[in-house]
Structure 1
Amino acid sequence: MELLQLQYFLAVARLEHMTEAARSLHVTQSSLSKTIGRLEEDLGVPLFDRTGRKLRLNEYGNRFLRRAEKALFELEQGRQELSDLSNPEYGTLNLAVNTAGMLPHILHEFRKKRPHIHFHVQMLTTQEMVTLIHRGEVDFCLSSPPIEEDDIECQIVYIDPILIAVPAGHRLTDRSSVSLPELKDEWFVGVRKGHGTRDLLDSVCESVGFTPKYVYEGNEPARLSALVEAGIGIAFIPSTAMNLRDRMHYLQVEGHELVREIALLWRKSRYISRAALEFREVVLEYFGSISKKTN
């Protein structure tokens, strides 16, 4: 059994499509197919049920996948640890977020401390982040809501109040607060389902008797302010995303402690480089400074 066979098997198992897997690996489909075939010969069992170019892991494949992921994860951890020991000033920090409003400030502070460390950031849904954590493909995730699982370390870094943002001239601009039932006939702009804060807010609204009506659902929370300003709809806006220079009015929510918890997540068994440890310190310092300002 060869390392290359395991790497190819992982790509096919995750995509369950030979053409797409070949494209992701930058190899020909015939080469990939032959490599998977040799692996199945070595193991003595088929790993996939095949329907044309579409493949689906069978019971043998599912069991082998868990072992292969663990093996490749440990090898990658070893490579990262040796790289960190031999050249600690350089490297790559892989991040995933489902809340990104404060990320520019955090990355700016981190870059001042570690100018030669590259970082790669992905904006994902909560479930997509969990998948990458389990695979060991990210150093840290910045998530709202927190995620509690056996292999995930979860450190809550900030409790963020959520406000209602309305455009100038809206019927509520002379108010400082509003109850949720008063918003049942409003049109909302928000992020798509699957983003933690959206799911939380929908649940709270449903608990008081209505489901928010969305005129816009997207993947970019930063765009919501512009849509509110344009009068497209109102929005739930975390306090960390509030900008007093916007032509909007912000209201407190009456009768509910409407907050989101922001957490830093990482896989417990993952090797944490010195650069990653410093990034964690920057995150804690940043949110600590915000807490002092608001208290």
Structure 2
Amino acid sequence: MELLQLQYFLVVARLEHMTEAARNLHVTQSSLSKTIGRLEEDLGVPLFDRIGRKLRLNEFGSSFLLRAERALFELEQGKQELRDLSSPEHSTLKLAVTTASTLPNILREFRKKRPHIQFHVQMLTTQEMVTLLHRGEVDFCLSSPPIEGDDIECQIVFIDPILVAVPMGHRLADRSSISLIELKDEWFVGVKKGYGTRDLIDSVCKSVGFVPKYVYEGDEPARLSSLVEAEIGIAFMPSTARNSQEHIKYVQVEDQELVREIALLWHRSRYISRAAQEFREVVVDYFGEISKQTI
């Protein structure tokens, strides 16, 4: 059994499509098929059910996938540890976020400590982030809501109130607080379903008797402020995403404890480099300072 066979098997198993897997791996489909065939010969069992051009992991394949993922995960952790030992100042920190409003400030603070560390940041839905976490493919996730799991460490770092952003001139702009039910006839701009804050808001609104009507749903939370300012709709926005635009008023929700929990997540078995450890300290200190300011 060869390492390359395991690597190819993981991609095919996740995609369940030979052509797409070959494209992803930058190899020919015939070469990929032969490699998977040799792996099945070595194991003595078929790993996929083949129906025309379609592939489906069978019982053997599903069982072997868990072992193969674990084996390759450990090898990747070994590579990361050696990289950290040989060149600690030039590693790359891999991050995934479902909440990005605080990330620029956090990265700025971390840059002051480790100016040579590179970043790779992905803005993901909760489910996409969980997939990367379970695979151990990211150092940390900054998430709302928090995620629990046998292989996931979860540290809640901040309780973030959710406010209602309305344009100046709106009927609610002269209010400091409102009842949630007063918003039932409003049009909203927001992020798509699957993002933690959106799912939380929809659930809370439903509990008081209405479903928010969205005129815009996107995957860029930072764009919501400009849409509110342009009077396209109003928005539920976490306090950490609030900015100093003069044409937006932020109103508190008075009859519901509408808050999101921001958590730092990491895989229990993933190697935590020295740079990653320092990043975690920066995150905790950053939210600690914000908490002091809001007391």
Alignment match, 1:285: 285
Q: Which moved more, 1:45-54 or 1:230-239?
A: 45-54
Residue type of the alignment partner of 1:275? A
The 1:252–1:79 alpha-carbon spacing in structure 2 relative to 1, beyond 3 Å, is same
Alignment match, 1:39: 39
How many residues align? The count is 295
- CA offsets 1:132-173 (integer angstroms, 9 cap, x no match): 011010000000011111211000011111100111211111
Query: Within 5 A, what are the aligned runs for 1:1-295?
Result: 1-295=1-295
Structure 1's consecutive aligned runs of 4 or more residues displaced over 6 angstroms after TM superposition are: none
Q: Distance in 1 between matches of 2:61 and 2:37?
A: 13
Q: Distance in 2 between matches of 1:31 and 1:62?
A: 23
Give 1:54 shift: 2.6
Residue type of the alignment partner of 1:116? H
Other structure's SS at 2:182 match: helix
- CA offsets 1:204-239 (integer angstroms, 9 cap, x no match): 101101111111111111111111111111100110
Q: Distance in 2 between matches of 1:268 and 1:168?
A: 47
Residue type of the alignment partner of 1:93? L
Provide the aligned C-alpha RMSD in A.
Answer: 1.0
Other structure's SS at 1:55 match: strand
Q: Percent identity?
A: 81
Q: Distance in 2 between matches of 1:70 and 1:29?
A: 26
Other structure's SS at 2:146 match: coil
Other structure's SS at 2:31 match: helix
Give 1:244 shift: 2.2
Q: Which moved more, 1:177-186 or 1:240-249?
A: 240-249
Give 1:18 shift: 1.0
Residue type of the alignment partner of 2:243? N
- CA offsets 1:95-149 (integer angstroms, 9 cap, x no match): 0000001111111121221122111001101111111011010000000011111
Residue type of the alignment partner of 1:201? I
- CA offsets 1:15-62 (integer angstroms, 9 cap, x no match): 111111111111111111110111011111111112333311111110
Give 1:273 shift: 0.5
Q: Distance in 1 between matches of 2:36 and 2:180?
A: 56
Q: Distance in 2 between matches of 1:174 and 1:115?
A: 45
Q: TM-score, normalised by structure 2?
A: 0.98
Q: Which runs of 5+ in 2 are unaligned?
A: none
Residue type of the alignment partner of 2:249? H
Q: Distance in 2 between matches of 1:155 and 1:209?
A: 33
Q: Which runs of 5+ in 1 are unaligned?
A: none
Residue type of the alignment partner of 1:8? Y
Give 1:84 shift: 1.1
Other structure's SS at 2:88 match: coil
Other structure's SS at 1:81 match: helix
Q: TM-score, normalised by structure 1?
A: 0.98
